[in-house]
Amino acid sequence: MISLAIYTMIYLGAALMVVNIYSFVSFARYIQNRKSWDANNKVMVVPIVLLTFFLLGYLFVGIFGKPDIMMAAILFFGSVFVYVMYRLLKSITGALVESEKIEAEYMAAEEANAVKSRLLASVSHEMRTPMNVILGLSKVVLSDPDLKQENREQLEKIDSSATHLLGLINRILELNQLENNEFDLNEKPFNLKNSLNKLDSIIMTLCNEKGLNYVTSYSEAVNREYLGDETMLTRALMNILENAVKYTEAPGQVAFVVEEKDVNDKEAVLEFTIEDSGIGIDEEFLPKVFELFSQEDPSTTSRFGGSGIGLALSSGIIRQMNGNIIVNSMKGQGSTFTVTVPLKINEAVKEEERNEDVSLEGKRILIVEDIDENAEIVADLLDLEGAVTERAENGQIAVAMVSGSEEYYYDAILMDLRMPVMDGFEATEAIRDLDRKDTKDIPIIALTANAFKEDVDRSLASGMNAHLAKPADADELYATIRRNIAEADRRREGGQ
């Protein structure tokens, strides 16, 4: 009986060793077929040869030897051990291969994302350049008091359509920021009431065009000065308000309410409520309403329009501001969006009031721009404010003009970034390095179609004071120049 058990264990061990040899042969072929493996490396042959000798040893002992129970157990469990080691090796290799696959997919995704970002940057630049001309010309021509009413109405329609197109361009850029989690908030003092007034002007016009009633109710908190990113907060609220108007039909109503929920010496928590009497949202779709490209019903989209981007962008902005956004809605009974945002209270001296006292009348501003139409538009806009402008076609000429002028000859420089011969970054660094008193303080403001975060960061790093994306709003352009001239004057006064 013991003899039968001994030989059974030996031959079972031999059979398992055959399985092990076959497994290692298959494994060797798999490894050698991988691109990362050197085809001339024969190291995988070694275990196969050793296992073959072991198999021959099993057979020799079984046929010619006189094994005892101990030897039989060693041979049997030796085959089991080899089998277990093979399974473990295969498992580790599988994990490594999967890791390589995931890493390759990640690298491919990163490369695809980089290509997309470069494409967006290029397309944005090319689209913003003609947009700058369209919006700038409409602003200049509309400022003519002798313009015929018929022509004024036509130009206002052109301006409105161009502004809408610019909004789409901005949303594409913001979409890229949202996907890359690159929303960069710019904390500055701002007056919330002024921001809301701008929103009201736009939404009131949209409501009037559709025959809707627009109602607002603001608490006293909106009159306070805050620190935060006015542009991004306004953008987030605008997306929600535009959606409310879009999905509400006459005779309907859009209500905008702003209340203060909590306040202390440093911070206030404000609640923005936007309520409409529109088509509403199905309860099952509510959890998806802030997802990118989410649209409840394609037929609704074709009827009202929409890209499925606006609410996702608003949600991303609000989250970045450490705020919260929720929606309550029922199909056919309208929707209510509630945005809660904490804002720092600005207790600093209101320098912006001093900035407003700075007149652009007679201020000499150098426009560094290689495209004739863009330079002419900016010059015309500044001429409306009484500024005196000169132009340099590229950065090298700009450096020469500044270097060859008297100190404090120029009050500000508007710098394009992409130019032949010498770009705006190099020109700014060269101007800052000039051995003159004025070049350390003179405001250099980027005015460019490059609107990505990395462009803004690089502009400021090169020594520029501010970054404006084309087509710049005329009021924003004037305010930025005034603010930076005022700040330069204060720096000079402090240094004397």
For 260-280, the pLDDT digits (tens) are 998 888 899 999 999 999 888
Q: Is the distance from CB of 180 to CB of 113 less than 8 angstroms?
A: yes
Q: Is the distance from CB of 345 to CB of 391 less than 8 angstroms?
A: no
**What is the predicted pLDDT for the residue at 268?**
92
pTM over 0.95: no
Write out pLDDT tens, residues 293-348.
666 565 555 444 555 677 888 888 898 899 999 999 988 889 999 999 999 988 76
Identify which of 293, 335, 334 has the alpha carbon closest to the alpha carbon of residue 313. 293
Write out pLDDT tens, residues 180-203.
665 667 788 888 998 898 889 889
Residues 6 or more apart from 127 whose CB is under 8 A from it? 169, 449
With 0-12 CB in 10 A as exposed, 13-18 as middle and 19+ as buried, what is 430? Answer: buried
**What is the predicted pLDDT for the residue at 150?**
83
**What is the predicted pLDDT for the residue at 332?**
85
- If you ran DSSP here, which 8-state letter would residue 410 be given? -
Q: 149-179 and 310-320 are packed helices; what angle lies between their axes, rounded to 10 degrees? A: 60
Is 60 exceeded by the pLDDT of residue 354? no
Q: How far is it, in rounded angstroms, from Cα 118 to Cα 325?
A: 32
Write out pLDDT tens, residues 425-456.
999 999 999 998 888 889 999 998 776 667 78
* Element at 9 (helix H, strand E): helix 2-32
**What is the predicted pLDDT for the residue at 153?**
82
Q: How far is it, in rounded angstroms, from Cα 249 to Cα 133?
A: 35
* Phi–psi pair at 90, nearest 5 degrees: -65, -40
Write out pLDDT tens, residues 237-258.
998 999 899 889 888 999 999 9
**What is the predicted pLDDT for the residue at 349?**
44
Identify which of 53, 45, 44 has the alpha carbon closest to the alpha carbon of residue 17. 53
Is 60 exceeded by the pLDDT of residue 496? no
Q: How far is it, in rounded angstroms, from Cα 412 to Cα 401?
A: 13
Report the DSSP pairing between strands 324-329 and 213-218.
unpaired
pLDDT band at residue 45, thresholds of 50, 70 and 90?
confident
Which of 28-42, 200-214, 401-415 bottoms out in mean pLDDT, i.e. has the lowest? 28-42
Q: How far is it, in rounded angstroms, from Cα 43 to Cα 45?
A: 5
Q: Pick the more confident residue, 143 or 1.
A: 143
Q: What is the mean pLDDT of the chain?
A: 82
pLDDT band at residue 414, thresholds of 50, 70 and 90?
very high
* Phi–psi pair at 314, nearest 5 degrees: -60, -45
pLDDT band at residue 394, thresholds of 50, 70 and 90?
very high
Is 90 exceeded by the pLDDT of residue 216? yes
Mean pLDDT for 16-39 is: 76
